[in-house]
Each structure stands twice: as C-alpha cells, then as structure tokens.
C-alpha cells in the first residue's frame, strides 16, 4: 500500500480524522534549525517520535505549507526541545508564523543549526539522515548526536488542549489544563527585601511559584513544591492571597520563612519596594498584591486577599483569637 492509498480519504471524514488523532496523547516539542542565511526557524510539533535505539534515531513530521518548511527540509542539523509543563506559552508562540520566535528566549546551539531552548525538560541535537515525503508532510529522520534530560513535569497535548503531565505524581498523573490548576507562591524576605524570581522563558519577574507537587498530605505537597522551586525548605507562616493567574490557574500565595540560605544566581533577586522591577512582572495582577505586601509589611499588619466573588481583603489580627498551648 502506498502513502497515497492511505490518505485518499475514502470513508474518512477530515473532521473525524482530526478528532481521532486528537485521542492520541502526546508530549510537545519545539523543533528548530537555521537556514543557509543563518535565520532561526522553529515550530511547535507533537509528531515527534522515537524510531531506533541503535543507531539512535528520532523522527518529526513537517507540514509542507508551513513557512518554515524549506528551512527544515534543507536542514543538515536540527534541535528538538521537549517542553516542560511551564512552557505552554512557548508552545503557543512557536505554533504561529512569527519573524523571530526565539527573540528573548534563552537557548543554546550545541551544533550549528540545532537551537534548543534552555528551560526544556529534555533536548536532542540531531543530524538529518532521511527525508521522506508522506502526503502533505515530510518526515525528517534525525540521528541523535547529543541529548539531555531533566527531572521536570512535562507539557502534554490531546484533543486540542495542553496538559500538565507529572510522571512523579502517584495515583492519577494527568491534570488537564482545562481544569483549574493549583500553584503555590512564596513571599519570602531577607533583610526586609523580597525574594523574586526571573522566569527563564519570558525573562519576566514573579514571586517564586511552583506547581502543586505530589504528596500524601497538603503540607507535604507544599514543602515539596517549595523545595522544587527554591531548592530549600520553607516554613509557611500564613496564607496571604489567592490569586487567579489565568482562567485555568490559581496560585495560593503564602508568606514564609526559610532557615537555609536563599537561592542566588542570575534568575534570583532580593528587592525592596523601590527597586522592584514593577514594569517587568510576568503576571499583571501580581503587582497589586506585592505592593500591598510592602505596605502591610511596613505597618506589620497583614490581610488576606480572597478572590471569591468580587474579592476582598480579610484583616488578620495581631493577637491570636484564643490561647494555643
Ligand atoms: C500542539 C501542536 C503540535 C503541532 N505539531 C505539528 C507538527 O508535528 N508538524 C507540523 O508541521 N506542525 C505542527 N503544528 C503546527 C505548527 O506549529 C504551526 O503551523 C507553526 O506555525 C509552524 O511554524 P511556521 O509558521 O514558522 O512555519 C503543531 C501545533 C501545535 C499547537
């Protein structure tokens, strides 16, 4: 049977065919290369597949109508970045034609023509060894020259929706993106300065935040989530805010302390109210919360923002309502 026989459409309604394919749950990759003029090209692709172990081969299918198609078909080398669950915005950026999709995104290029994104869950640097025309796609077969893998929750895709896939979560491993996802955020101070984190993908600042981690109890989940993000143990003091980051994501923000050294490095920063990079926040609705935090910190009188209904600040009293032994 030839490829044409398979795709002649006899008895196959295109909508049903698309729906059928959507039932196959995949990961999400960014496949990228450079053309002969040195321009970077990249696209979101879930047609990535392993092909052979010895030699190590993978494949990826490129649609012939894509503007990037000529660059991929001519490519001697290409890079594949397997996305982590917090790279959905990257997946969406690379799924549209755009002049330079890499602009502002940290990436490395271990071999010429094989850009791979820094914060991905795994990367593969490939040399093109076969190009197979199959219907309206070309299958690129790549020999894997280098690869890396990190221990991170993965971005999944099925039925037109993104999913968080965490292989380490026991009992039920998928959290659909269309359901409400829960993150923990941390307000941690040192010398009256607040710890902020610069998101690698967008280069914008946020309070340290991490996905709800697996755990038998909520407090275990919180501790693990904090350790995943900060690399240190934290002691939660009180819930400070419930913040909707998007239609699908809520962040429970806790004020917390840490007895260990706080993380340092290019992506971490300690800021007082004057030095906070207010114009470079990742989430706009985090700004009023952080401003309120500085104000309340100054007065040492805190409230909790509850975003139920129209949202309100509930005051915390200085005194405990009853004695605790
Ligand atoms: C989750 C997802 C998976 C995709 N997988 C592929 C794929 O495997 N092959 C492909 O050619 N296009 C795929 N696309 C579509 C391309 O990402 C999209 O057409 C992109 O604009 C191509 O880049 P270009 O416009 O710069 O050529 C996918 C899109 C999404 C959202």
| 18 pLDDT above the threshold of 50 | yes
One domain, residues 113 and 231: no
| pLDDT tens, position by position, 124-180 | 999 999 999 999 999 999 999 999 998 888 999 988 888 888 766 544 444 444 457
One domain, residues 152 and 215: no
Structure-model confidence comparison of residues 33 and 170, the more confident one: 33
Does 320 map to a domain?
no
The pLDDT-based confidence of 224 (bands split at 50, 70, 90) is: confident
Measured between alpha carbons, how far is 128 from 57 in angstroms, rounded to an integer?
10
Does 110 map to a domain?
yes
Structure-model confidence comparison of residues 69 and 6, the more confident one: 69
Residue of the CA atom closest to atom 5 of ligand 1:
45
Residue of the CA atom closest to atom 16 of ligand 1:
95
One domain, residues 8 and 138: yes
| Boundary-marking domain end, from 156, 172, 195 | 156
Does 321 map to a domain?
no
Substitution candidate for ligand 1 out of 30, 44, 74, 88 with most atoms within 8 A of CB? 44
One domain, residues 236 and 283: yes
Measured between alpha carbons, how far is 20 from 273 in angstroms, rounded to an integer?
53
| 3 pLDDT above the threshold of 80 | no
One domain, residues 184 and 242: yes
Long-range pairs of 160-165 with CB within 8 A, sequence gap ≥ 24 = 160/22, 162/28, 162/88, 162/91, 163/25, 164/85, 164/211, 165/27, 165/85
The CATH number of the domain holding residue 221 is 3.90.79.10
Residue of the CA atom closest to atom 15 of ligand 1:
95
How many whole angstroms from 78 Cα to the centroid of ligand 1? 15
Distance of alpha carbon 218 from the chain centroid? 23
Does 274 map to a domain?
yes
How many whole angstroms from 135 Cα to the centroid of ligand 1? 16
How many whole angstroms from 197 Cα to the centroid of ligand 1? 30
What residue numbers bound the domain in which 16 lies? 3-156
The CATH number of the domain holding residue 101 is 2.30.110.10
- At residue 169, the pLDDT reads 57
One domain, residues 123 and 205: no
The pLDDT-based confidence of 199 (bands split at 50, 70, 90) is: confident
How many whole angstroms from 126 Cα to the centroid of ligand 1? 19
One domain, residues 96 and 201: no
| pLDDT tens, position by position, 232-245 | 889 988 889 988 88
Substitution candidate for ligand 1 out of 27, 34, 42, 45 with most atoms within 8 A of CB? 45
Cα 148 to Cα 29, 68, 199, 266: the distances in Å are 14, 25, 21, 22
One domain, residues 123 and 266: no
Q: Which atom of ligand 1 is nearest to the CA of 28?
A: 1
One domain, residues 143 and 267: no
- At residue 50, the pLDDT reads 97
How many whole angstroms from 121 Cα to the centroid of ligand 1? 19
- Give the position of tokens 């913040």: 243
One domain, residues 33 and 122: yes
pTM of the model: 0.59
One domain, residues 65 and 102: yes
Cα 303 to Cα 92, 292, 306: the distances in Å are 37, 9, 10
| Boundary-marking domain end, from 88, 123, 156 | 156
Does 139 map to a domain?
yes
How many whole angstroms from 274 Cα to the centroid of ligand 1? 43
Please provide the average confidence, as pLDDT, over all residues in the chain.
Answer: 86
| pLDDT tens, position by position, 41-75 | 999 999 999 999 999 999 999 999 999 999 999 99
How many whole angstroms from 275 Cα to the centroid of ligand 1? 40
| pLDDT tens, position by position, 61-117 | 999 999 999 999 999 999 999 999 889 989 999 999 988 899 989 999 999 999 999
How many whole angstroms from 192 Cα to the centroid of ligand 1? 46
- At residue 62, the pLDDT reads 97
- At residue 2, the pLDDT reads 43
One domain, residues 139 and 226: no
| 303 pLDDT above the threshold of 60 | yes
Residues 6+ apart with CB under 8 A from 58: 48, 49, 50, 51, 80, 124, 126, 141, 142, 144
Does 324 map to a domain?
no
Does 111 map to a domain?
yes
| 306 pLDDT above the threshold of 80 | no
| pLDDT tens, position by position, 124-138 | 999 999 999 999 999
Residue of the CA atom closest to atom 21 of ligand 1:
96
Distance of alpha carbon 35 from the chain centroid? 27
- At residue 45, the pLDDT reads 98
Most confident of 31-40, 198-207, 241-250: 31-40
Q: For the chain, how many structural domains are there in total? A: 2
Pocket of ligand 1 (CB under 6 A): 28, 43-47, 61-63, 66-68, 94-97, 157
- At residue 218, the pLDDT reads 78
Q: Which atom of ligand 1 is nearest to the CA of 157?
A: 1
Does 22 map to a domain?
yes
Query: Percent of the chain having pLDDT more than 70?
Result: 86
| Boundary-marking domain end, from 101, 122, 156 | 156
């Amino acid at each position: 049977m030839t490829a044409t026989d398979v795709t002649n459409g006899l008895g196959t309604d295109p909508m049903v065919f698309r729906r059928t394919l959507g039932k196959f749950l995949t990961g999400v990759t960014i496949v990228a290369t450079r053309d002969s003029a040195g321009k970077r090209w990249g696209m979101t692709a879930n047609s990535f597949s392993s092909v052979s172990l010895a030699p190590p081969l993978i494949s990826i299918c490129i649609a012939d109508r894509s503007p990037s198609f000529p660059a991929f078909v001519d490519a001697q080398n290409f890079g594949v970045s397997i996305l982590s669950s917090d790279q959905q915005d990257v997946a969406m950026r690379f799924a549209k034609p755009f002049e330079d999709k890499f602009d502002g995104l940290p990436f490395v290029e271990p071999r010429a023509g094989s850009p791979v994104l820094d914060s991905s869950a795994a990367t593969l640097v490939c040399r093109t060894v076969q190009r197979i025309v199959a219907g309206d796609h070309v299958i690129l077969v790549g020999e894997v020259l280098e690869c890396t893998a990190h221990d991170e929750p993965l971005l999944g895709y099925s039925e037109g929706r993104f999913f968080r896939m965490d292989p380490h979560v026991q009992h039920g491993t998928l959290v659909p993106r269309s359901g409400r996802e829960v993150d923990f955020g941390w307000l941690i101070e040192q010398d009256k300065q607040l710890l902020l984190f610069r998101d690698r993908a967008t280069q914008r600042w946020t309070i340290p935040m991490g996905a709800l981690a697996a755990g038998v109890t909520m407090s275990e989940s919180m501790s693990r989530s904090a350790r995943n993000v900060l690399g240190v143990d934290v002691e939660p003091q009180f819930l400070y805010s419930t913040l909707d980051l998007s239609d699908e994501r809520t962040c429970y923000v806790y004020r917390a302390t840490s007895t260990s050294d706080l993380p340092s490095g290019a992506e971490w920063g300690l800021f007082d109210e004057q030095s906070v990079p207010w114009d470079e926040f990742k989430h706009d609705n985090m700004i009023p919360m952080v401003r309120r935090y500085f104000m309340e910190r100054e007065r040492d009188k805190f409230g909790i923002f509850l975003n139920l209904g129209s949202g309100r600040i509930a005051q915390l009293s200085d005194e405990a309502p009853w004695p605790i032994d």
